[in-house]
Structures are given as structure tokens and as C-alpha cells.
Structure 1
Amino acid sequence: MFPSVGALLLLLLCPGPSHGRSPQIRSEALKRLLEVFGMEDAPQSPVATRQPPQYMLDLYHTVTGADGVTKQPELLLGNTVRSFLDRARNQRLEFFFNLSSVAKSETILAAELHLFKLRGRLSQDLRQHRHLFCQVYDWTQNKESNKGLLVIVQTLAGHKLHNYIRFATGRDHHSSKHPMVVLFTDDERRGTATFTSRETPFIREVTLHDKASQSRNTRSANLLGCLRYPLYVDFEEIGWSGWIISPRGYNAYHCKGACVFPLGQNMRPTNHATVQSIINALKLTKGVATPCCIPDKLFSINLLYFDDDENVVLKQYDDMVAGSCGCR
């Protein structure tokens, strides 16, 4: 049975018996956690001077709140945004974007071509044209002979401006002006109980302190009932800080506590859990356990990171943060 995200994080981050901290167990847990993030291997760390495009940083801060938790899910088309900078090295006015890192499982929903127009010397006749018409052509009928995109800029009257319009290149200009292609894709990895900021769950939270009080806190949790506890994921501690741009970590939370009869509404029980707790308390049927304390609302989070080709990716992952806990 595949372990939950919370179980993997507890194994990686929380103190426990020696076998839980062995290199073999840790390696297996990291491998499983990468699978949760849709990766086979962790991307290689980029060059230290590599800076993410400002567009991607702005987009990340627009759709996320604290710790990368999604605050405006409707603003993100699909669950993945990939940016590709110009990799051309010749002196001609052409750009090269390597899109090979797009997985076959991803469906491209939209694409943007970002070009920075430089100041040019236009004749008096052309200078009067305040509005320009930009046409973008591509090779869609024959993928084998795909030659990329052809961009034509002309006035509204039809005068072509290819000899007058200049764009910044990746060779000679600041990184903020580099040509870039942005793809909005979806890999259909959807969670089962995504929680958005428009909902306000009932949350009771208890903070754990030092290790010495852990057993005492566990006994207290059983008396208090089903509660939400902090579970901070530090990407530097895991060893992923080299390729994850933001967030530096996030609070996944986890649920713990007893769901014993009588279940109050503050434990957010389902009808089934209430009946099960009654059967357990009255010993009407052998082998019936008490209900389980589990997340009943979940947040999605967003990661902004470098992939193996040093492209910057913004990806949304469902069911990563326990928003509230209940008896089920």
C-alpha cells in the first residue's frame, strides 16, 4: 500500500526509532516523495548565478499565499507553467527554445511568446503608426519538418517592419529582457479533496514542543480528541534547496488523536464514524475499531523550481496540506 504524503513526511522529518532514520529507509522515502511531485529523480542544481525570470516570480506570488499554499486557483490555467528562455547563439535574428522537457503526459493548453522590443530608428512616416500588427505563424501540419515560429510585425496599413523592428536577444541583453516562451499545461494529476481559501474550516491546533514531552503530548492528544498538529517540511533539510526556488518549506500539518465515543461535532465526524464509535463503545461486534483521525480538508501547494534543463517551472500539487482534521 502506497504511504500517504503525511506518513512520508513524518518518516523523513520526525524523530523516531533508529531504523526509521537509516539511510536506506530515508532514500526510499525521498524516492516516494519525488513520485508525489511527479519526478523520477531530483533535478540537478542550476548554476549559482542563474536567476528565475521575473514573470515566473510574479506569477508564483499572484497564485500563492504563505508557504506556497494556493490562494487563487482560478488564475492558473492547468496545473503547470513552464518557461523556456532563448538558447540561440548565432548572430541572426532568430531564437531557439528547447521544449523537450515537456512530458508526453502533459496537455498544452496555451502558449505565450515574450519578446522585448528595443528602441529603433524609424522614419517619420513609420513613426506616426502608434499601433502595430504582429502575426505569429507555426508549422502544425507536418511536425517532422517543424521549423518553429515565424513572427511578422507590420503597420495596420500592411507595411512590414522587419528592417526596423529589433528585439532583445539572450546574448546581448539583461536577463529581464530575454526572449521567452511560456507554456500552460496540465498533466491531469488531480487530488480528491482540494481545499481552497474560499472555505473556512474549523481548525483546532496543538503545537508540539521538545522531544521529552512527546509521549505526554501523545497522551494529551488522545484525551483532547482529533486535532491538527504542525508538520513543517524544510526543503533544505531534505536536500532539495538547490533546485526549489520557492517556497523554502511549508507546513503540511498532520492529524492525530482519538476518535472515541461520544464524538462531538467539534471532531467533524461523518455519520458513519458516529455509528462506528457507538458500535465500538457498546462492543456490539467484535473487531470494530474506533474511527480514524484524518484530514478532511486539504490545501494544494505550488512549487517554483528549476528543472534539469535549468528552465523555471511553476507546478501546483493537490492534497499537500491538511486544512482540518476529522473523525472518519
Structure 2
Amino acid sequence: MSLVAVISLAALVCAATAPPPPPNYLENRFDGAGDGPGEVRSAAIKRLLEVFGMEDPPLARSHMQPPQYMLDLYNTVADVDGVTKDPYLLEGNTVRSFFDKLHSEQVEYRFNLSTVARSEKVLTAELHLFKLRPQAAVSFNRHHFCQVSVYQLLDSSRINITQGKKLLSSRLIPIHSTGWEVFTITQAARAWMSDEDSNLGLQVVVRTLGGSQMDMKLVRFASGRNHHQSKQPMLVVFTDDGRRSASLENKDPNGTPVLPVLPQLPVAGAAPRSARSLDYGEEDATSLPCQRLPLYVDFEEIGWSGWIVSPRGYNAYHCKGSCPFPLGQNMRPTNHATVQSIINALKLTKGIETPCCVPDKLFSINLLYFDDDENVVLKQYDDMVAGSCGCH
């Protein structure tokens, strides 16, 4: 780790040992923040939005029900607090679900991908269609399977001509089955991202095994116009916005994250207290060994519960305590911290403090939320939970 990184990390975690900041320090640290607690709160929430990669909070959608697929996916990759179960379960770090915008009686669909940033890399795109049961009047049929093909429309004036569309996916489906069918259409999604005007939609064609057109009363898919929201056609896009690779660049070779220096937020309306009393109450700071303590982030208190589906909040934890000589292995010290504690104990160099109690393992969390276009987004954020603490 570079000297600058060590100084930045030490400044963040050792704030409790520093003298109290001068009046209006916090307000001056926030660009455009006024003198009142309301301005400080607004500036702090704006900074928190930046952590989550947003400029403004999305509109409240608490009356809407997210797709079951997205709920199931969230529960697969995250625990009850949103903490990632396994970082390799999710492809990329962002998943979005889009509903069909055409609501056509025909088997044609169009999805608006404008909320996906051009900088994001599309890894996989899937068309999810709910297959309905055949109508009773035509349920008896000698065919048991049909060929379902998904085409990307290239020319809206030549839909029924081979040159006007491109085959994306095709497979056999049992005629008498019901439930969700998934088709991979990654090529089309990537094309739409590079050229928004090329997004003319998708067309689904159903044929018999002999190649003739299938009776649409026999093979039916739910549409956004005539069926319940839970069965609407849906496009699911898996992307990577580059944050994961950037996060790796901000770690030293031993995997320790380089954390930014942020101001300490005071409690609104509270009387000024010393740094020691702020962190440790009336106890002597040296009486507490380095340990991990709870730090719950409540999205309802912040005012975000209207657009965040899950979790309702999460325990970020924080590290607090002293790192006195001699450092035991239970304090998970680095070799550098051990040497620093020895130098401090022997007073060999003036001005050398004891090592600091900091997170030495960080976990990611997942948010499931509605964006401004009523799409449901599952996004993974790295280094959000202190998994363990050590003396560094």
C-alpha cells in the first residue's frame, strides 16, 4: 500500500483520537451545504446516493409489485440483510427487468433500454414469455411439440420477409405445457445499446415440426394488454458497469481496500462533544480492544423505502477499539502494524501512534429497487459491510 493510501486509511479510522474539528468544519466540507442541519442532511444524502451510483433518488413505487423472477433472483444471491451469499452467483453486478412497451395483440415486443448506461457491458439478455394453456376447443391435436423462434426486427416495413429480421433463438417447446419460457437474445440487446434507433423490437414465430404456421389458439403467450402483470412479457438484461474492476484497482496487493477520507457526521441537534465521548461514551478508549460493532443503515429513516424493494436496511458494522502493545493474533494485525506497535511501545521514534482498528474484510450488498422508468433493478455494491476488523 502506498504511503498516501496508509495516511488516508489512518485518517478515516483514527478520527476518534484527533482533536474536535473547528465549528462549521462539516458544512465547509460539503460543497454547497449551508449552515443548518437540513442542508447538511441533504448534502450527506447526496453523497450517499453517489455511493449507490445515482444522482437523484427514483420516484416512490411502493404500490407496484416487482416481478417474481427478480424477487427470486435477489433471494438467491443475497441474504435477509442484502449481503451477497457468493460473489460468483451473479453474472456482472447489475440485472434489470423491462416490461414490453408495445402491448400488441400480435406476437411482437419492444423494450426500452434507455436507462442502461452506454458504458455498461451487456453480458446476457433474456426474453421471458409466459406460455398459456391451449384453448379447450383446440386442445386435442396430433402435434406434441412446436418450434418457437425469436427474431430481431431489422425493417418494420418487411416484417414478413426473411431479409427484414434476424433469427436470435429457436427451440422446441411442448404444446401442452404452461409456464415461463426463456430465450437468449443477447445479440439484439447489444445492437440496441450501440444504436438506439435500431431497436424495432422482437417477433416470435411458432411453427409445426413440418415448418407450417401453427394455430395461435393452440400455442399462446401472455401479452401485456390482456393478462395479469405477473405474466407480462419481460426482458431481463445482465450487465457490468465496471465498478467491480475499479474496486479491484483500489485494493493493495494484500486485498486491503483504500478507503476515501469522509467527514464525521454529527447527530443533528446534539450538543458538541469531544471525539472521545462521541465514540466511547464515558469509558476509557484504551479499555476496548479492536472489535466489530453494529452499524445499522435504515433506508426508511433516510426516506428511501418508497423505491427500494429489498432490503429495508442493512448492518454495515464498524470497527472500534484500541490496538495496544503487544498485538495478539486475535487482533489480526498486519506485520506493519506489529512493527509500528513495537516502535510506539519502545518510543524509538517521536510521534508514532499505535495502529488503528479498521475493517480487514469487506462484503458486498445487493439492492432491489424500482428506477424512474418503473423497471426493477438488482444491483450489487462492493465493500459495503465490514466483515471483520483488525489492527493495521
Work out whether 1:189 is the aligned partner of 2:275.
no
Work out whether 1:35 is the aligned partner of 2:39.
no
Equivalences for 1:224-239 in 2 at 5 Å? 224-239=288-303
Comparing 220-229 with 28-37, greater Cα deviation is found at 220-229
Comparing 293-302 with 127-136, greater Cα deviation is found at 127-136
Contact 2:108 2:203 in 1 (8 A): no
Contact 1:152 1:162 in 2 (8 A): no
- Larger radius of gyration, structure 1 or 2? 2
Shift of 1:134: 2.0
Counterpart in 1 of 2:167?
none
Change in Cα spacing, 1:73 to 1:155, as seen in structure 2 (3 Å) is farther
C-alpha RMSD of the superposition? 3.2
Deviations along 1:209-237, one digit per CA (max 9) or x if unpaired, are xxx99765573553232111100000000
For 1:286 and 1:42, the matched residues in 2 are separated by 49
Counterpart in 1 of 2:269?
none
Give the 3-state SS of the residue equivalent to 2:88 in structure 1.
Answer: helix
Normalising by structure 2, we get a TM-score of 0.69
Contact 1:82 1:184 in 2 (8 A): yes
Counterpart in 2 of 1:242?
306
Give the 3-state SS of the residue equivalent to 2:71 in structure 1.
Answer: helix
Counterpart in 1 of 2:119?
105
Shift of 1:316: 0.7
Shift of 1:166: 2.2
Work out whether 1:54 is the aligned partner of 2:107.
no
Shift of 1:66: 2.5
* Unaligned stretches of 5+ residues in structure 2: 16-21, 27-35, 155-187, 252-272
Give the 3-state SS of the residue equivalent to 1:228 in structure 2.
Answer: strand
Change in Cα spacing, 1:187 to 1:218, as seen in structure 2 (3 Å) is farther
Work out whether 1:148 is the aligned partner of 2:163.
no
Partner AA of 1:185 in structure 2: T
Indicate the percent of aligned positions where both proteins have the same amino acid.
63
Counterpart in 2 of 1:258?
322
* Unaligned stretches of 5+ residues in structure 1: 11-16, 195-211
Shift of 1:303: 0.4
Change in Cα spacing, 1:150 to 1:91, as seen in structure 2 (3 Å) is closer
Partner AA of 1:245 in structure 2: V
Change in Cα spacing, 1:134 to 1:268, as seen in structure 2 (3 Å) is same
Partner AA of 1:132 in structure 2: C
Partner AA of 1:23 in structure 2: G
Give the 3-state SS of the residue equivalent to 2:365 in structure 1.
Answer: strand
For 2:329 and 2:301, the matched residues in 1 are separated by 38
Shift of 1:65: 0.9
**Residues paired across the two proteins, number:** 302
Counterpart in 2 of 1:271?
335
Counterpart in 1 of 2:169?
none
For 1:243 and 1:44, the matched residues in 2 are separated by 6
Shift of 1:18: 9.8
Change in Cα spacing, 1:59 to 1:221, as seen in structure 2 (3 Å) is farther
